[in-house]
Amino acid sequence: MILYHIVILALVQGITEFLPISSSGHLLLTHEILERGTGSHPADDLMMDIAVHIGTLMAVLIYFWRDVLAMLTGLKDLATGNHKTEGARLDLNVIVSTLPVIGVGFFLHSYDPSFVRSMEIMAWMTLIFGVVLWHADRFPVRQKSLNELTLKDAFLIGITQCLALVPGVSRSGITMTAARYLGFSRERAAHYSLLLAMASISGAGVLGVLDIIESGNAALGLDAIIAALLAFVSALIVIVVMMRWLRHSSFTPFAVYRVILGVALLGLIYTGVL
């Protein structure tokens, strides 16, 4: 893969993975632009995809290291039947939120519904769920803490997370939207969404590794290392900036960006440019 393609794809993944603007949609658009007239080898794309996911996973693990330690301790508590510790409750909620998307994800991975990966669908999803995010951001909240997150809340967030398997919806966006509707502040909605990202990114990585094993191409090259590092650095910076922003500001800029991008893409698609 061409070096500047690697740099662009890694930065796009790192910057958009945790923002509520759809990383998969932006990657689909980026591939559409970069690969015109050049083409790329599917195995290279797969390796880059895994590399950037590893980079973004490391970023969220480092930023939320205290939560990670609490969740690891919570696993031990769960194994001994103690479900009342903070780490154990968080583990249960993350598991409940993740199970629906695991089931749907493996089903879609087996049947490969390529029709949902069209530019037109991505553009419409970007627009529609941008409006939904804006509405949820204006929804009255009770400022619930993560300790008040119930298994019912976790399950509802998990169900909505399944929608993010369609490019343009945004995993971060839809889980933050659901958490806002359930009464959580912007910062806490983002906090829980990023914790869920650890599970979803890990799952995507596992599926990618299985694909590589099946293809017989398991070589980790310098390109993949560069991609992982760029994705890691850019993702960590984005997490820090976003969490600080949401302490005092709203999701409105992200919603407006989505609407503008969605309208622009639909215009380009229906005029035959894309």
Q: Is pLDDT larger for residue 219 or for residue 174?
A: 174
Q: Is pLDDT larger for residue 218 or for residue 52?
A: 52
At 29-47, the pLDDT tens digits run: 888 888 765 555 555 666 7
> What does the pLDDT average to over 193-203?
89
Q: How many CA atoms lie within 13 A of 62 on its CB side?
A: 13
Confidence (pLDDT) at 255: 97
Confidence (pLDDT) at 174: 97
d(CA 243, CA 229): 21
What is the share, in percent, of the chain residues with pLDDT greater than 90? 59
pLDDT band at 58 (very low <50, low <70, confident <90, very high): very high
Listed residue (202, 24, 45, 48) closest to 121, CA to CA:
24
d(CA 40, CA 15): 23
Confidence (pLDDT) at 91: 95
Average pLDDT, the chain: 87
Domain range list for the chain: 3-258
Query: Does the pLDDT at position 172 exceed 90?
Result: yes
